[in-house]
Amino acid sequence: MADITVVLPDGSSRVLPSGATVFDLAASIGAGLAKAAIAGRVDDNLVDLAAPLTDGARVAIITEKSPEALEIIRHSTSHLMAQAVKSLFPQAKVTIGPAIESGFYYDFDVDHPFTPEDLEKIEKKMQELAKAAQPLVRRELSSAAAVAMFREMGEDYKVELIEDLGVDTVSVYSQGDFADLCRGPHLPTTAWCKAFKLTSIAGAYWRGDEKRKMLQRVYGTAFADKKELDAYLERIEEAKRRDHRKIGRELDLFSFNDEVGAGFAIWHPKGAMLRTILEDFERKEHLKRGYDIVVGPQILKTELWQRSGHYENYRENMYFTEVDEQGFGIKPMNCLAHMMIYKSHLRSYRDLPLRFFELGTVHRHERAGVLHGLLRVRCFTQDDAHILCTPEQLDGEIKGVIAFVSEVMAKFGFEFDMELSTRPDKSIGSDEDWARATNALHEALKDSGRPFEINEGDGAFYGPKIDIKLRDCLDRKWQCATIQCDFTLPERFDLTYIDSDGERKRPVMVHRVILGSIERFIGVLIEHFAGSFPVWLSPVQAVLLTVTDAQIPYAEKVFNELRAVGVRVQKDFRNEKLGFKIREAQLQKIPYMLIVGDKEMESGTITPRFRDGKNLDPVTPDAFHTFIQKETADFH
């Protein structure tokens, strides 16, 4: 049979015998590469090492150091976990087990929920199976044959998946006595699964449908080596220590109450102060950038939501009510009222751009299973704004928002990544308008000089968007800011302006948030700072601590002076030891403890102590106020 020629990533070519596999190519390049190879990329498709090559194919060898390796390792480890579960719990039915950003999971139908002890047994069994170095072997079967095989095995979920695929053939991977429906690719043997950890158990409905059976979802993670795994597990432990729900309770910032309802935060005094600080900061930042503050109603007639497309495309996330036999929708977004403000006057091109800003409280129906402290709630406040401009002004406005985001995130110490999210399957508007909007965002991103990725099909139903994902101190990504370009809603609501030629023209609308949900952003801030907020953001900036009761009258005077000039100060005049009061203030992560003893009372001073234990020299109350002003000057 004739030889074949394949092309390597550097453009060079290599001649191989007909029928050669990816592994054969790796071996022909060198023994070291053959030993390190775990998979291949052939004409942009990931394949197993055993995949045969064809003449003219472009081929790259995947090793553990390749960007694609981690997903393959994690996906193969999920199969290893399923094999271990079937070995320990033969009656378990397997469903799906994908690799995800943080690791992998697999859903199982079992008679009794898994316990932490079960997780330990499963992990131990996985280690045994990994050491056995079982090959992962791919087979192509007709769908009919695969259905018959899985039906005989009692794997009803696999049968359903195959029947829903509606294809003639499927691929099945086997390792030892375990077989699974999968596209692959996978590691050559289970021995490559050498650094993994099962992390948690959760409930999950089959196919995410609350009407289907509740399954047991086992989460895990895997890496190429133990060092990476250990580093990841340490980050997880640190994330637990920083959990905003735990810190929120400890600092008495907010609470959730089943009597109130899931997903509705109750803000306590210090939490409400934190919100107020952020909201005041937001108002000042928007006003100096030419935004007008507006306020819209909480409910609007259902007909408006129908005209906007929300009723058709978003109503499963909305709440509806009735007033005087008239249907109303509780707003999940603020854009409709802002368009009504625009329509309240005849607009000229000279009026544009108009930038309407609202700290608008919205309600969205989130499933109970996805609620997560402040990070996913049913009622939240957005720093929402809508810019209405001419098409010619659009590029400048988008760039202005990107610059706004950059400046604000720098104040909090956040770096961020950007994605351009394109048209989803469920959308409104013409192809032409979507193309114009997408191109406008794309060009502004290119001109910004920042790297960005394309996130296909994840735009809003009315327009594409730039998603801005900030990175916290643990390098986790959080979706906060977004910039959406919309030609469609101005058309639906007949928004116009009189152009310089006297003709009526259609404005473009930019929907944008900077922090996004205030609740979510506070949750991120709590975890980023571990509750030790910078002085400008701290709900309590200082606490006055007396050494004995004798200093209380002087301390009261200092307290009133500091509070009068705007220092957020508390007092602790209890008849307790000073060391005890200092420890309590440190646990509350208050930036400054102001010690008042006999010396301070006699000299008319206070002795500041920072929360990390560092003592400062005694100062007068006025001098401390000046000190606080300087420390917070950039945020006022």
Q: Is 335 a catalytic residue?
A: yes
Helices 269-287, 518-529: axis angle to 10 degrees equals: 110
Say which of 158, 310, 364, 581 is annotated catalytic: 364
Question: How many C-beta atoms lie closer than 10 Å to residue 400's C-beta?
Answer: 20
- Signed CA dihedral, 572, 575, 578, 583: sign only: negative
Say which of 158, 355, 386, 568 is annotated catalytic: 386
Q: Is 465 a catalytic residue?
A: yes
Say which of 41, 75, 242, 335 is annotated catalytic: 335
Q: Are 419 and 466 contacting, i.e. CB atoms less than 8 angstroms apart?
A: yes
Token duo for residue 556: 């009261």
Alpha-carbon distance of 568 to 273, in angstroms, equals 10
Q: Are 424 and 392 contacting, i.e. CB atoms less than 8 angstroms apart?
A: no
Q: How many residues would you count in the chain?
A: 636
Alpha-carbon distance of 221 to 206, in angstroms, equals 22
Q: Is 384 a catalytic residue?
A: yes
Q: How far is CA 564 from CA 269, 436, 511, 567, in A?
A: 19, 54, 40, 7
User: Alpha helices, DSSP H only, in 449-551?
Assistant: 488-492, 518-529
Q: What is the 3-state secondary structure of 6-26?
A: EECCCCCEEEECCCCEHHHHH
Q: Is 75 a catalytic residue?
A: no
Say which of 382, 393, 484, 588 is annotated catalytic: 382
Say which of 75, 511, 520, 609 is annotated catalytic: 511
Say which of 465, 512, 520, 568 is annotated catalytic: 465
Q: Is 364 a catalytic residue?
A: yes
Task: State the pairing for strand pair 169-175/137-142.
Answer: antiparallel
Residue 114 makes CB contacts below 8 A (sequence gap 6+) with 108, 122, 201, 216, 218
- Partnered with residue 606 across adjacent β-strands are 619
If you compute the radius of gyration of the chain from its CA atoms, what whole number of angstroms results? 30
Alpha-carbon distance of 423 to 458, in angstroms, equals 6
Token duo for residue 150: 């899985």
Task: State the pairing for strand pair 326-330/45-47.
Answer: unpaired
In DSSP notation, 604-631 reads T-BEEEETTSPBPPPB-HHHHHHHHHHH
Alpha-carbon distance of 310 to 97, in angstroms, equals 34
Say which of 107, 180, 383, 384 is annotated catalytic: 384
Alpha-carbon distance of 381 to 364, in angstroms, equals 11
- Residues annotated catalytic, as ranges: 335, 364, 382, 384, 386, 465, 511
